[in-house]
Structure 1
Amino acid sequence: MSAAWRWGAIAGLGLLGAAVMTPRTSAAFHSDSQFVEDAAEGGADGIFYTGSPRSRGYDCSACHLDAPVEARLVLATDPGELLSALEYVPGEIYEFTVKLEGETRGMGSATNFNTFALELLDAADEPVGGFFGFDGESLRTQDDGGVLFAQGRDDATSWTFLWQAPEAGTGYLDAYIAVVDGDGAGEVEGQGATDPFNDDVLASVFRIAEQGTPAPELSLEEPEEDRDVTACRVGRRGSSSALLIVLLMLAWRVRGRARLGRGF
């Protein structure tokens, strides 16, 4: 039987934005390609917002502000020991299921894009293992397969894929996951706009030991206050005239990491 983990989400970051822009609707990312686009084009420039060190500690709450934290994230694996024991067997293939439960956003909107991003990193913060066995219309990888993204399809709340654990001797892994329950800019009718406002955000990290090798306790670090977030864009979905918003890190809210709980 698959084991499931349920948790709440971290609080939204307090950010102040500064930009020169026309009065258009701010558009949230719903396609994985936008995370690798150059920042000058309104992309994330290789920052994936999972909360990992590779994302400079930022998760989706860096742009999706004031999340109400009402939805729940359910993560299950088969074999279930990956989560029930928090350890992996080298070379083992695991089936993952990610579910967004208790969705409250976007159900009455013209578009209801929900999405997630997932990384599994070794002690050197390098991607390990491999994602495969998924529907390419719903899930895609970026960064040479190091990050798995949900494609932001209408009304999607469940995703399934396979992941093969790395070879023996890799050591412990840290799994970083961030999920957005989008509200489609709150438009009941329209051209399918998206924005980073009034969405719900869930994010968490947990450590997985290599079987037979104890892992050190997970220690989390806050992002540095002088780093800039340069990856929120303005414009309609697919707009080539999107303008870059530069969010200056002028204020922080206290961030609370999610508490992990078990469910079966």
Structure 2
Amino acid sequence: MKIARLGEPGQEIPVVIAADAAGVERTFDARPVTTRIDGGFLAGGGIAALGDAVARGDLPELAGAGALRIGSPLDRPNNVVCIGMNYAAHATESGALPPTIPVVFLKPNNTVAGPFDDSPIPPLSAKYDWEVELGVVIGREASYLGSVEEAAGAVAGYLIANDLSEREYQLPGAAGQWTKGKSLPKSTPLGPWLVPAAELDANKLRLRSWVNGAPRQDSSTADLIFDVPTLVHHLSQYMVLEPGDVILTGTPEGVALSGRFPYLQDGDVVELEITGLGRQRQKFFRAGPTGTTRQEA
């Protein structure tokens, strides 16, 4: 079962993509069960309710679904919590030692965009970079969890994220700060789907990225320094994780920061893929001084 939201920004329709009785994958309108895919939906057992509705045949097929824009699978997340340098090879290409405890930072939730929306490069940016990441969606409140086993139970599902980063803003220099480099408009495309945690083994998922069709990243979540339950447990010791929060688990090697590839330019196309979670595609454009952010249907 895949949970998605289709339609123009602010008008997205929640849907379930699932096989019908004949085994053909179809897109079903989820509005008989919920009008929102958010923290309240997740905390209230919404995923199980959708699964039951699909099994009973209670959801109508959504006519014309294939022609609709694909938005983020979640209505705006509560928090976007990010983990830095969680793959040893990426830490090395960044000029750092692999961390011994998770490196944590936050992105504003207003950076979230759809997985196929056109993506703006900031007007003064010279070092805009891509990062394919496994995104973890929290399904219940988690605070001071007692074990990694308990932490695993707080995960509602998974999705693809692109943690777009402006390296000149982010890294040390005249005023380099991670928050500045990670807070730019539409710099967190999510989706196309949210896949329930029970339906996916997050321990061995292949992550890949391409720029203009040329391979960039190719790794596996098996190479994570800190796996998903460890991250959820660790974060719960320092903050309250709420339903609808998204944790970005870090990116593998193969980004422009490595010095092996050019940074993103006007007209570039980035594609991302994670096994079982689908594929993203963003076309990049140089934003004007007014912050114009055109959108690809």
| TM-score > 0.5, shorter chain as reference | no
Higher relative helix content: 2
Higher relative contact order (CA 8 A, sep 6+): 1
Q: TM-score range by the shorter chain?
A: under 0.3
Q: Normalising to structure 1: TM-score of the pair? A: 0.27
